[in-house]
Chains A and B, each alone.
Chain A
């Protein structure tokens, strides 16, 4: 379970201070698909970076599975990111020097365990069995994003954070990626927090949190 309370992020100091986030509170239950929406510059990506421990908040707490992540050391953050968090970025952000299979296996190897078998299974699930030995820069954008989804799921994280996962794809491919994320979420009981500027694209999700001027102004349950 993810619990965000009083989350504040201020860039700069004094008169130049910019409040990217101001006291954001929400809770995400296990297995939920939650959309974070908002206009450009509203602070949604900043929020996702805080939850993903890629950036530190100025104030507030982020509890994931009962652990206060804001007090973790640098090494502790790395381990936490590896074991508890999965990431899907707007640009697939695969490592182009590695093959699709090696990219998916990378979180396992960084964590010091796991088998190639689980990576192959996931690649089969996202429909990339025949592409797995290709270099990451030799596949299409849609295929790269599928691989990124597999990489985000490989460690069976507590939560997968997706930042505009369809933002760089055409509408047809975007629909397929959305369907894939939703099907994987249902199949694995996986929690997803997805930042998007286009809520229509994702159709039915469990909840939608809207960020406006750095505040969570609306928390709407969509699905029963």
Chain B
């Protein structure tokens, strides 16, 4: 073994306290970044997952002007012929008022978002139907699924009860219709339709006097990574229409932008943690250099050049960095594995979307390794500045 590496290793391993301290500093720095990533990136990805699952699909098609006038049937049939597309479904939204009579008392809920869905296609393209915890999804023109929050506001409306929905059509005329509650929906983290009422899209079209229109088409892909090419293909295929096609992140940009800034801030804190580790390494390496002053003097007296001394202590930094990066990555992967296997959730509701981001994992390990070496440079340089005759006076 290269004598400088051997010497670095021996000097380091004979100072177990310093070695453990330095490795722990690096390990904790990496672990903080991994934990941050699992929790906050997992939360972000969970939001994106749920927004895509309930609201936008992998691609959301809408119209620049207002409503999509083109037949939803022809659009959906065109879309599902694309190999990457699993399913597509039209949606129509409005806002209205709901009333329920319980024990002779009328309970009213105003400003209620109402979503019209196609029961046949919606279950293929979205996951909203899976959030129906009580009863079943919309299955006919006069059934309605109430979000759990809405049901509560309506005095605890239950499956089978009759709800009157009142909304204003395109001509400004108030329309009302009675629905039977077929189910109550409750989603983890409230990302689904917990605050809305879901009805059949054709019924909603009738009530709004908007026959044959939709305000969006949700497209579900078999490979979400193909979203951009499919989006571009769709836009190219309808050059004369005013369609907008957006990926889930583009469609949800407004709500995700703030989240992303938050994650960037949290990551920054993680990297500050790593910088603190680097300062700890500088301190520990300085202690190691001070503890080896006599040895440095001896080495210089028997012919070691300043460069040799520099290399010995940089090797020490590399050993600390390599072990610390390895241990930190292992600890981080252990935490990620735990989070994934236990289906860790935020606030006991929203299940985190835990992924192994190998690029980020290796980037963090390499950055930490490099930072440890950089942190070792100054103490190593200080070691080379010791005069042999002075250094050997140290006992």
Q: Which residues of A contact B387 (CB under 8 A)?
A: 54-55
Contact A110 B294, beta carbon cutoff 8 Å: no
Within 8 A of A (CB), among B266-320: 294-295, 297-306, 308
In this complex, the interface size class of chain A, counting residues with CB under 8 Å from chain B, is: 20 to 34
Check if A171 is an interface residue, CB within 8 A of chain B.
no
Check if B14 is an interface residue, CB within 8 A of chain A.
yes
Check if B395 is an interface residue, CB within 8 A of chain A.
yes
Chain A: interface secondary structure? helix
Contact A106 B302, beta carbon cutoff 8 Å: yes
Contact B302 A97, beta carbon cutoff 8 Å: no
Which residue in chain B gives the minimum CB-CB distance to A97? B10
Contact B300 A55, beta carbon cutoff 8 Å: no
Q: Which residues of B contact A98 (CB under 8 A)?
A: 7, 10
Check if B228 is an interface residue, CB within 8 A of chain A.
no
Given contacts A91-B395, A95-B295, A97-B7, contact A107 B302 (CB under 8 A): yes
CA distance A151 to B303 in the complex (A): 12
Question: Which of A33-41, A81-89, A126-134, A215-223 is near enough to bind chain B?
Answer: A81-89
Check if A109 is an interface residue, CB within 8 A of chain B.
yes
Contact A110 B308, beta carbon cutoff 8 Å: yes
Q: Which residues of A contact B395 (CB under 8 A)?
A: 91
CA distance A87 to B392 in the complex (A): 12
Given contacts A93-B294, A97-B295, contact A54 B301 (CB under 8 A): yes
Contact A78 B303, beta carbon cutoff 8 Å: yes
Q: Which residues of A contact B3 (CB under 8 A)?
A: 105-106, 109-110
Within 8 A of A (CB), among B377-395: 387-389, 392, 395
Contact A78 B389, beta carbon cutoff 8 Å: no
Please give the distance in Å from A206's CB to the nearest CB on chain B.
25
Check if A214 is an interface residue, CB within 8 A of chain B.
no
In this complex, the interface size class of chain B, counting residues with CB under 8 Å from chain A, is: 20 to 34
Within 8 A of A (CB), among B1-56: 3, 6-7, 10-11, 14
CA distance A151 to B7 in the complex (A): 16
Contact B298 A95, beta carbon cutoff 8 Å: yes
Which residue in chain A gives the minimum CB-CB distance to B298? A93
Contact A54 B303, beta carbon cutoff 8 Å: no
Interface centre among B6, B299, B392 (most CB of A within 10 A): B392
B-contact 0/1 string along A31-52, CB 8 Å cutoff: 0000000000000000001001
Q: Which residues of B contact A54 (CB under 8 A)?
A: 301, 387-389, 392
Please give the distance in Å from B15's CB to the nearest CB on chain A.
9
Check if A66 is an interface residue, CB within 8 A of chain B.
no
Q: Which residues of B contact A15 (CB under 8 A)?
A: none
Given contacts A97-B295, A110-B308, contact A82 B392 (CB under 8 A): no
CA distance A93 to B395 in the complex (A): 9
Q: Which residues of A contact B306 (CB under 8 A)?
A: 74-75, 78
Check if A79 is an interface residue, CB within 8 A of chain B.
yes
Q: Which residues of A contact B7 (CB under 8 A)?
A: 95, 97-98
Q: Which residues of A contact B6 (CB under 8 A)?
A: 102
Q: Which residues of A contact B304 (CB under 8 A)?
A: 78, 82, 110
Which residue in chain B gives the minimum CB-CB distance to A148? B298
- List residues of A whose CB falls within 8 A of some B CB: 49, 52, 54-55, 74-75, 78-79, 81-83, 87, 89, 91, 93-98, 102, 105-107, 109-111, 151, 155
A-B contact pairs, 12 of them (CB 8 A): A55-B389, A79-B305, A82-B303, A83-B303, A87-B302, A93-B294, A93-B297, A97-B14, A106-B299, A110-B299, A110-B304, A151-B302
- List residues of B whose CB falls within 8 A of some A CB: 3, 6-7, 10-11, 14, 294-295, 297-306, 308, 387-389, 392, 395
Q: A55-B389, A81-B302 are in contact. List 19 more A-B contacts (CB 8 A).
A: A49-B389, A54-B389, A55-B387, A75-B306, A78-B304, A78-B305, A81-B301, A81-B303, A83-B303, A87-B301, A89-B298, A93-B392, A95-B7, A95-B299, A106-B3, A107-B302, A110-B299, A110-B302, A155-B303
